[in-house]
Amino acid sequence: MSKEYILRVQCPDKYGIVAKVSTTLNKANLFILDSAHYGDPENKTFFMRAKLIYPKKVFNIDDFSKFFSKECKSLKMEWSIEDIDYKPNTAIFVSKYGHCLQDLMYRVDSGILPMNVSCIISNHKDHQKIASWHNIPFFHIPVIKDNKNKSEKEIRKILKEYNIDLLILARYMQILSNKMSHDFFGKIINIHHSFLPSFKGAKPYHQAYEKGVKILGATAHYVSSKLDEGPIIDQSVERVDHAMTPKDLELIGRDLESITLARAVKYHIERRIFINNSKTVIFN
């Protein structure tokens, strides 16, 4: 039975990369079903994502990796190949607001987001029933000013135990340490309750109301050591008007947050995102 794979390539840009990669894949009896590439004119970096199919029964990734690395050594590339059916082990972090968590679980259950939700971690107990309903381990780890290091050690232990590949901050209202942000860079997706950069803090929709904004937004981004300044994955906006109350704005905002986070997670799962310094390249 034939199998499909995702090949990702990133390297210094130069002439002949696509031709070299295509020729090498052909030699390995891999057929390209879909391919997209981009060369950044500013930093001279090349990015490529290709969906491949191997028509024979057995595909040895180790043998292919050795062959591909040898054939493309001159391109000095960073690359990876993964089974298209691979589902990342995911930990969802949540605080008191549960709309993003519930939306993600619906999309997982319906097959829209192919990932294994291995555990749910929260600094509150509010959503323990959701975890129980889905038969997912729930960990209540309180975070207070004097115990943040202890809490993070507990979190790291859980992530290691469940072999977590992806961390989703679904309105998790705690700031991760610089070390954790660094150690898991490119593997932590956060949803920010505004169209960055704007309205930081606990009550963004009240701030928006006071300013009389005409557009609400939400931003999904990778977490970095700089608060809310990691590479942006996706953003959504919707027009609002003067007649709307803070509650109206909050309801609209919650929808935007859920949609934007889900879209960012889907891009990540499908290996469509490349981090390009402080930005992202995303092949739709």
The ranges assigned to domains in the chain are: 3-83, 89-282
Tell me what pLDDT residue 232 has: 92
Distance CA 23, CA 185 (A): 33
User: Of 198, 157, 204, 202, nearest to 175 (Cα)?
Assistant: 202
Residue 32 burial (CB count, 10 A): 14
End-to-end Cα distance, the chain: 27
**1 pLDDT above the threshold of 70:** no
* 3-83 and 89-282, same CATH topology: no
**197 pLDDT above the threshold of 60:** no
Tell me what pLDDT residue 225 has: 85
pLDDT digits (tens, 9 = 90+) for 135-174: 999 999 998 877 888 999 999 999 999 999 999 999 999 9
Q: Which strands, in side-by-side order, build the sheet including 78-83? A: 31-40, 45-54, 3-12, 78-83
Residue 19 burial (CB count, 10 A): 9
Q: How confident is the model at residue 38 (pLDDT cuts 50, 70, 90)?
A: very high
Task: State the chain's mean pLDDT as an integer.
Answer: 93
Distance CA 219, CA 166 (A): 18
* Residues 6 or more apart in contact with residue 111 via CB below 8 angstroms: none
Averaged pLDDT, 93-104 = 97
Domain 89-282 has CATH 3.40.1710.10: no
**13 pLDDT above the threshold of 80:** yes
Least reliable range by pLDDT among 34-38, 55-59, 113-117, 135-139: 55-59
CATH architecture designation of domain 3-83: 2-Layer Sandwich (3.30)
Annotated catalytic residues are: 228
Contact 217, 235 (CB under 8 A): yes
Q: How far is CA 116 from CA 82, 85, 124, 189, 224, in A?
A: 16, 12, 22, 16, 24
pLDDT digits (tens, 9 = 90+) for 200-246: 666 777 877 777 778 888 999 999 988 778 899 999 999 999 999 98
pLDDT digits (tens, 9 = 90+) for 121-136: 999 999 999 999 999 9
Tell me what pLDDT residue 199 has: 65
User: Of 82, 76, 74, 72, nearest to 49 (Cα)?
Assistant: 82
**61 pLDDT above the threshold of 90:** yes
* Residues 6 or more apart in contact with residue 74 via CB below 8 angstroms: none
Q: What percent of the chain has pLDDT over 90?
A: 80
**34 pLDDT above the threshold of 90:** yes
Distance CA 5, CA 28 (A): 13
Least reliable range by pLDDT among 83-97, 136-150, 179-193: 136-150
